[in-house]
């Protein structure tokens, strides 16, 4: 397939699938995945992409900018944009409260999960304290191996109060979409990240050698009224993820 055929907007651009620059970014990412756009070769110039897609140059520029932020496109002063040679690490913003499913779909990747545990359990002391559970309450637990384009990315173990998630079996794909429907999507979260060396069991699930580097992430999410929504402990592959935090000078 030629680049012109691949970028033909009637094949992929729709009015109800979100911002046009995001759709173009996903299409160009798919083009690289499918080999229509070759790694290491120049990206067609902005004006050419604009005329092939019937999109404005501003929209095209925004999509290319986003691909550059993803690390998939390298912009070289004076000589245009090139498609990066290597698959970039997934860059995860530390300031946006998004779900795994949303993060992966924003990058044009298909997320999936393998269930490790899902049900209602007696809470551990940590869960009682973190979720502020009454003494006789049970807890909903969902543990999953998360994959992106079939590659294992993370092991996530989430615990939620039954008042927030009464039926853990209701979660089939995205936990945050189930919470959103119930009016319990978290609006704020605290996250703690530490470095670990993967043990045998986690390394096997993530399909890497034991002892390799991983990231342990604990997220506690809250509703606007301060109630805790989730306590999630995750282990991410160290070689697949970059966490990026934006820092600003504090104004007194």
175 binds ligand 16G (CB under 6 A): yes
Answer yes or no: are the C-beta atoms of 46 and 57 closer than 8 Å. Answer: yes
164 binds ligand 16G (CB under 6 A): no
141 binds ligand 16G (CB under 6 A): no
Place of tokens 């756009």: 37
Closest CA to 149 of 174, 112, 116: 112
Q: Which is nearer to ligand 16G, 123 or 168 (CB)?
A: 168
Q: Which is nearer to ligand 16G, 59 or 99 (CB)?
A: 99
159 binds ligand 16G (CB under 6 A): no
Q: Which is nearer to ligand 16G, 61 or 118 (CB)?
A: 118
**Paired sense of beta strands 90-93 and 111-121, if any:** unpaired
- Residue selected from 59, 101, 140, 147 as contacting ligand 16G according to rule CB under 6 A: 101
147 binds ligand 16G (CB under 6 A): no
The Cα 30–Cα 36 span in angstroms is 9
The Cα 145–Cα 236 span in angstroms is 10
100 binds ligand 16G (CB under 6 A): yes
- Residue selected from 127, 232, 237, 238 as contacting ligand 16G according to rule CB under 6 A: 232
Q: Which is nearer to ligand 16G, 138 or 233 (CB)?
A: 233
Whole-angstrom CA distances from 125 to 8, 65, 135, 155 are 57, 47, 10, 21
The Cα 84–Cα 57 span in angstroms is 22
234 binds ligand 16G (CB under 6 A): yes
Which segment (55-63, 69-77, 194-202, 229-237) binds ligand 16G by CB under 6 A? Answer: 229-237
The Cα 76–Cα 99 span in angstroms is 33
Least Å distance, CB 113 to ligand 16G, is: 7
Closest CA to 247 of 95, 97, 103, 98: 95
Question: Following CA atoms 211, 207, 171, 139 in sequence, which dihedral angle do they give, to the nearest 10 degrees?
Answer: -30
Q: First vs last Cα of the chain: how many Å apart?
A: 57
Which segment (40-48, 55-63, 93-101, 206-214) binds ligand 16G by CB under 6 A? Answer: 93-101
Binding mask 202-221 for ligand 16G (x = CB under 6 A): ---------------x-x--
Place of tokens 């605290």: 190
- Residue selected from 158, 206, 229, 240 as contacting ligand 16G according to rule CB under 6 A: 158
Q: Which residues make up the interface to ligand 16G (CB under 6 A)?
A: 99-101, 156, 158, 174-176, 217, 219, 230, 232, 234
């Amino acid at each position: 397939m030629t680049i012109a055929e691949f970028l033909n907007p009637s094949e992929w651009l729709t009015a109800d699938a979100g911002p046009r620059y995001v759709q173009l970014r996903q299409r160009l990412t798919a083009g690289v995945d499918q080999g229509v756009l070759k790694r290491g070769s120049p990206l067609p110039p902005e004006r050419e992409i604009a005329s092939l897609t019937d999109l404005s140059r501003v929209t095209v520029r925004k999509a290319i900018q986003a691909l550059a932020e993803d690390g998939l496109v390298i912009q070289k002063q004076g000589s245009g944009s090139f498609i990066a040679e290597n698959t970039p690490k997934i860059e995860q913003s530390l300031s946006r409260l998004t779900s795994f499913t949303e993060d992966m779909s924003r990058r044009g990747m298909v997320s999936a999960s393998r269930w490790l545990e899902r049900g209602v359990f007696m809470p551990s002391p940590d869960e009682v304290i973190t979720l502020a559970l009454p003494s006789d309450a049970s807890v909903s637990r969902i543990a999953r191996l998360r994959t992106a384009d079939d590659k294992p990315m993370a092991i996530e173990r989430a615990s939620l109060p039954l008042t927030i998630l009464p039926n853990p079996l209701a979660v089939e794909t995205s936990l945050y979409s189930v919470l959103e429907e119930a009016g319990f999507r978290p609006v704020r979260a605290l996250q703690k990240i530490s470095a670990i060396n993967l043990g045998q069991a986690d390394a096997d699930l993530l399909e890497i050698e034991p002892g390799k580097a991983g990231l342990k992430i604990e997220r506690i999410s809250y509703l606007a009224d301060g109630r805790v929504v989730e306590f999630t402990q995750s282990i991410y592959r160290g070689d697949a993820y970059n966490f990026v935090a934006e820092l600003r000078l504090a104004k007194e």
